[in-house]
Structure 1
């Protein structure tokens, strides 16, 4: 039995698209996992529920934010220090990668990726011109079943300063251009669609959640929360097939699930 329901869903599939090679479809999940702890029941792990959700949704790639690795904070929840990405990789059977943004609580704090197909990984450190917490992007170069290579990045932008977020968006975009592969990037970006940061994203980048109505928050209340979690894709290389925000109670954010097709 499914343990979630879709609060927003639209589908742009046509009979012609369905007939194409399914290996060309790419399913992306982005989720702020609240450092492996259920925010509504402090001290309780949320990893089993998140792993079950990932296995049921079966995305090709997952970007995770607020990820701890071997911190004393995880020890309070799990009884011992835990690498959350490694745990989720073992539970789901995906390839896992942790990109440390900063030292925290005797361990690390940053971004996590789970990738179904073979991939190579690297960490991009992002600038903080106004100061504040260090930030990073986790990058994967992924070989799809068809043999096509694509780039995927997951990040969690500064929660304090607009200037930092604008700089960080620019740096992710520049790296994507340098990679010269079909690129998708996703994460908790800590800005809304009416912000200057959002307007600073130019060129072929498209927000997968821009078209659906009514407005669907990804953080806070489903009635009056904020949309701050995104999947961005290069519209010259991908077409958008579906976008869904999932109402599940494992974090203070809602996971976003997007399906794209290579052009």
Structure 2
């Protein structure tokens, strides 16, 4: 009888322990891609487009959300590459079956230049204009509220920070991260931030934000050479809401940047 009682107690203990573990493992996963696409042109072969290759990459990895930087919309530059003016985000949306959104940061070459988001299946989109205390090129962040398959909503942003002045980068990081903190949803923000991890702009990021590419993740440059390039493209996530499952820098030659692919799990 005592032996049977011990078995029952042991089974109850295992059930009680297993339930929170199962709940922890049952959180939905989300796959995110961030990519500076060099305005839709192969950086090595001038005049050659890269959109077909980027679309193929997206179809291969099937991210839920894609943030695109250095995006042209209906510019003379796209006409030079593709034969007529092209909205690069909408072209990628057509080639992948995603929803596309272009967030114009500035007028450029008879069209626009800024950020793009591709969302698989749904999305409510907005543009955030970023501060320029030191002057320079206008910058923006593209935002989307995205619904996961089980109905959970998250917020996601992609941006491209100032390449000229650290004062601007610090102010722009503050603007994006503050808006992210104000979200009532689990939030991820990403992009080409034009700074390295040792910079003051990087160190200025406070709060719950975790850099998906920080150690102990193996260091991998995202710009220039994979051997001795710079890590300037990032995925930042709210560490109180997400767990990092996977981080990769993809070795593909379609741009002067490498795409960053991250898989997160909702806690």
Shared fold (TM-score, shorter chain, > 0.5): yes
Structure with bigger strand share is: 1
Q: How do residues 8-23 of structure 1 correspond to structure 2 at under 5 angstroms?
A: 20-21=25-26
| Residue aligned with 1:257, SS | strand
Deviation of 1:179 after TM superposition, in Å, equals 1.8
- State how far apart, in whole Å, the 2-side matches of 1:145 and 1:20 are: 16
Tell me, yes or no, if structure 1 residue 162 matches structure 2 residue 166: yes
Single out whichever of 207-216 and 71-80 deviates more from structure 2.
207-216
Matching residue of 1:13: none
Q: Any stretches of 5+ residues in structure 2 without a counterpart?
A: 1-20
| Residue aligned with 1:38, SS | coil
Q: How do residues 1-263 of structure 1 correspond to structure 2 at under 5 angstroms?
A: 20-21=25-26, 24-212=28-216, 214-263=218-267
- State how far apart, in whole Å, the 1-side matches of 2:158 and 2:24 are: 30
1:119–1:143 Cα contact (<8 Å) kept: yes
| Residue aligned with 2:112, SS | strand
- State how far apart, in whole Å, the 2-side matches of 1:17 and 1:186 are: 30
Deviation of 1:215 after TM superposition, in Å, equals 2.1
Structure 1 residues 251 and 204, CA, compared in 2 at 3 Å: closer, same or farther? Answer: same
Question: Could you say which structure has the larger radius of gyration?
Answer: 2
Structure 1 residues 33 and 18, CA, compared in 2 at 3 Å: closer, same or farther? Answer: farther
- State how far apart, in whole Å, the 1-side matches of 2:149 and 2:218 are: 35
Higher relative contact order (CA 8 A, sep 6+): 1
Deviation of 1:17 after TM superposition, in Å, equals 7.8
| Residue aligned with 1:261, SS | strand
| Residue aligned with 1:247, SS | coil
1:243–1:257 Cα contact (<8 Å) kept: yes
How well do the aligned residues superpose, as a CA RMSD in angstroms? 1.4
1:70–1:108 Cα contact (<8 Å) kept: yes
| Residue aligned with 2:231, SS | coil
Structure 1 residues 221 and 140, CA, compared in 2 at 3 Å: closer, same or farther? Answer: same
TM-score (norm 1): 0.91
TM-score (norm 2): 0.90
Q: Where has structure 1 moved over 4 Å in runs of 4 or more? A: 16-19
Structure 1 residues 177 and 76, CA, compared in 2 at 3 Å: closer, same or farther? Answer: same
- State how far apart, in whole Å, the 2-side matches of 1:128 and 1:256 are: 27
